[in-house]
Chains A and B, each alone.
Chain A
């Protein structure tokens, strides 16, 4: 389970002796099993927000609670996918996917079984002995997904995971993420499935792509700049099917988001 609550969260950076406020006054409730997209212009602090959620950086102000407990450092059940640098070039596909479990001292047989299952699920099993340099960009991010799923997370954080991929590969991987989210959240409700250990998966996705935010976000948080803050929360109950991408509701949603982003940008100009 992962119920996330942020209250008045702010993060300051020290940069060249000056204090820069990356985000400020963030109030967010992310219920268990949610799919939240965070979208905003470059430099609005959306990645900072994600790192704070992951426990990798500590907020300067405010509180982040997960399941009611104050977040202090990293949780075992939180996985993070980064845009680049995520995979290690010196590890094979298999070793990359197994790394999180190895660091957690999981038994070797268990690692092998778990990693095989996930690599097969993502169509990577035949490439298990290859190095990242021998993979396409899409395959690499697939491995990154495999690596985070191997940790069996209940909270999956993604920082612009597909922004360096070509359009079709990007959509393919978005479909994969959507499927995984749906599987986990249907199984959680459906006890006859037998997968008794399957819990809902909460996804928080940071992106600068309007389409990606609308496709993968059941709710979309639009961020503005200086300081980075949430300027609008948009409900997006239409998401959940691969076909959603081709509907007029999707186009309208994207257009709506575009408008909010533009207004947010204007607002900043207006202040100055």
Chain B
């Protein structure tokens, strides 16, 4: 419950600053939180929940896919030097390239629907998780692995009992950062050539100079962020109980 209080406190603080700023600037581009909030609730029976659900689906599925692909790949690259020697240069060439530049190609190849957006965000999450888990797996002290080997463990057991749990907390740290990037890219990907998602909703309201609607969409996006972070926290607590002692 103290967590809910924390969020409430943060929201109140933000609204106060926002209110002061809106009153000070006195422009249509920044409505007061009161009018934005009332607009947000006015939009709830409308199509905002639909756009919200579409965005959450896209970003959620992308995060899941990105982790499922990157976690095993990163752990293997971190531990198997012969494989890493081949793939590491490839990763380091691709990693710094902003993946959003591939959006036009993806739209062309995969269409304007969900697929192109999910693939784009998956790729972004994939690289961030890959690089972190690879480093985490490399940094496992040799002694830890020896200790496992001394129990008679080989191959798969070393991955299951040492490499995976040792790297998992760092993977979650990377995932929190990646989730932020994922939402930002989602907004970008949804902001053109599409008819649904919060990105579309916000940009559409903006183009109609309907600022209260726009801020309703922004608030929905913030709520989506909270949901994703809280879910990650919950899953981490389940999978890494030893880090929360």
Residues of A bordering B, CB below 8 Å: 51, 54, 56, 74, 76, 78-80, 82, 84-86, 88-91, 99-100, 103-104, 131-134, 147, 151
Is B147 within 8 A of A82, CB to CB?
A: yes
Decide: A133 and B242 in contact? CB cutoff 8 A.
Answer: yes
Q: Which B residues are CB-close (under 8 A) to A89?
A: 242
Interface of B is mostly: helix
Give min CB distance, A41 to chain B, whole Å: 21
Contact B150 A103 (CB under 8 A): no
Closest to A130 in B: B245
Q: Is the CB of A131 within 8 A of B141?
A: no
Is A103 in contact with B240, judged by CB distance below 8 angstroms? no
List residues of chain A with CB within 8 A of the CB of B153.
Answer: 103
- Taking Cβ atoms with an 8 Å cutoff, the residues of B that contact A are 141, 143-144, 146-153, 157, 161-162, 165-166, 168, 240-242, 245
B245 touches A85 (CB 8 A): no
Q: A134 to B244: give the CA distance in the assembly, Å.
A: 11
Across chains A and B, the number of contacting residue pairs, with CB separation under 8 Å, is 58
B236 to chain A, nearest CB (A): 13
Chain A residues closer than 8 Å to B157, beta-carbon distance: 103
User: Once the chains bind, are A56 and B150 in contact (CB under 8 Å)?
Assistant: yes
- Residues of B within 8 Å of A99, CB to CB, are 148, 151, 161
Contacts of B168 in A (CB 8 A): 90
Within the assembled complex, what's the spacing in Å between the Cα atoms of A84 and B147? Answer: 9
**Is the beta-carbon distance between B141 and A85 smaller than 8 angstroms?**
yes
Which of B147, B157, B168 has the most C-beta atoms of chain A within 10 angstroms of its own C-beta?
Answer: B147
B149 proximity list for chain A (CB < 8 A): 56, 74
Check A90–B150 contact: CB distance below 8 A: no
Given contact pairs A88-B147, A90-B166, A103-B151, a sample of 13 additional A-B residue pairs in the complex whose CB atoms are under 8 Å apart: A56-B149, A74-B150, A78-B150, A82-B146, A82-B150, A85-B141, A88-B148, A88-B161, A90-B165, A91-B165, A103-B152, A103-B157, A151-B152
A76 and B150 form a contact (CB under 8 A): no
Is the Cβ of A90 less than 8 Å from the Cβ of B151? no
Residues of A within 8 Å of B166, CB to CB, are 90
A233 nearest CB across to chain B (Å): 26
Q: Which residues of A contact B143 (CB under 8 A)?
A: 82, 84-85
Q: List 29 A-B contacts (CB under 8 A).
A: A51-B146, A54-B150, A56-B149, A78-B150, A79-B150, A80-B150, A82-B146, A84-B143, A85-B144, A86-B147, A88-B147, A88-B161, A90-B168, A90-B240, A90-B242, A91-B165, A99-B148, A99-B151, A100-B151, A100-B152, A103-B151, A103-B152, A103-B153, A103-B161, A131-B241, A131-B245, A133-B242, A133-B245, A134-B245
What residues of chain B lie closer than 8 Å to A90, measured between beta carbons? 165-166, 168, 240, 242
CA distance in complex: A85, B141 (Å):
8
